[in-house]
Structure 1
Amino acid sequence: FGGSAFGGPSSKSPLFGRDGWYENTRYARRGWDRSLSVVGSGPDRRAVCDINSTCPSDVLPMHAVQVSPGVVSVETEFRRGALGNQPTLSVSDINGKSIVVVYAWPGRGDLVAIDIPDERVNFGDADHGLGDFTTPGKWFGLKAVMDTVKRTIAVHVRRGRGGWVPLNRQPVPYFDPEARGTRWFLRLGTYKHKTVENNVLEMDNVAVRQLSRSR
């Protein structure tokens, strides 16, 4: 979020309409897009969402990307102001069919979930050993690694800017068996469960990396 598209080094800038970030028009018409902006300066430049004024029925915002067949990772860092929200990283194909959905549970500082077909798999401190790494006020990372040929995913988490820790030891299938292709929508943010004090979510260092290419 330090690029020129997001405004000056110390100015406040809208997030939507910048470098491919967008919101579904039915939400934008109702003003929910105004809840997201880019703030701060230098290395502290980041996206901020006021969850109390955000649409309760979808994850915001979205970003369109084109990747190549092979292995691709999508990652972002979150910092939440309250345990009442649910920081989420998800990826869907161009038709809206979900590839991966991973999120930090509301009300818990250690619990992360991966949604897979017909099941939700939870991982706590006993699995990742990071303790309450998503506690309010602390940065943490979520990363999904997708194999577009095998159509499988692997999820990793980290405390702060520390090393990545794998959650599922074996790759699991795409969330939607019908998800296809390499034109994706990244959906980053949180659902609004209820209005709570300091219900803010910050995001930084969103990255899409092509780890290998298939011929």
Structure 2
Amino acid sequence: MRGLTAVHDDGTVGAHDIDLRVERGELVLLLGQVGSGKSSLLAALAGLVSTRGEVRWNDRLLDDPETELRPGRVAHVAQVPRVLSGTFRDNIRLDHPDRQVEPAIAAARLGRDVEEAGGPDSLVGHRGVRLSGGQVQRVALARALACDSELLLADDVSSALDAATEVELWESLRERGTTVVGATSKTAALARADRVVVLVDGTVAASGPWSQLAPRWRHLAG
């Protein structure tokens, strides 16, 4: 991204003037206060809002990011994801019979929960009413991982998880070699990132390993 600015439908500018390069297999996590532009940047990379500036994919300039940054290439997990009425399998596969459900469940660290519920074909209740907040987040993450996209965008997907499950989740994504750009304030996640990008007032204020950034930016983490 070079000079990337995210513009919402009402004309509001979210993240702006973002210069950022992400390598294949990297875990890059965004850190910032509420309103700092994290969700706006992730939405722009998912093609959900219009953009100004350059987005390059494998050194090729994208003429229309809103069209080209789509599922199959990019998978996006929202901060408050939706769960459909039906089974775990229905929610993860979404009528795509070729998607591998069980490996995605394992990678999202949802296996124990699914097993205790009765397996992948057990019901989650009306819009996931039987699930906890952490389970909803991991169902949405499993859905994204089942797409086998090149880039995973994860907007605070560990916010409802306990510390042990969160560590397992990030280690799982590491083992898969998944390229992730996410947003979090969790110290355990930040410590495992290749790079932490601090956003202040919608633009990049600092970037680097958490071990280098922590002395100045620790107040933003929880």
- TM-score, shorter chain, exceeding 0.5: no
More helix by share: 2
TM-score (structure 2 length as normaliser): 0.28
TM-score (structure 1 length as normaliser): 0.28
More strand by share: 1
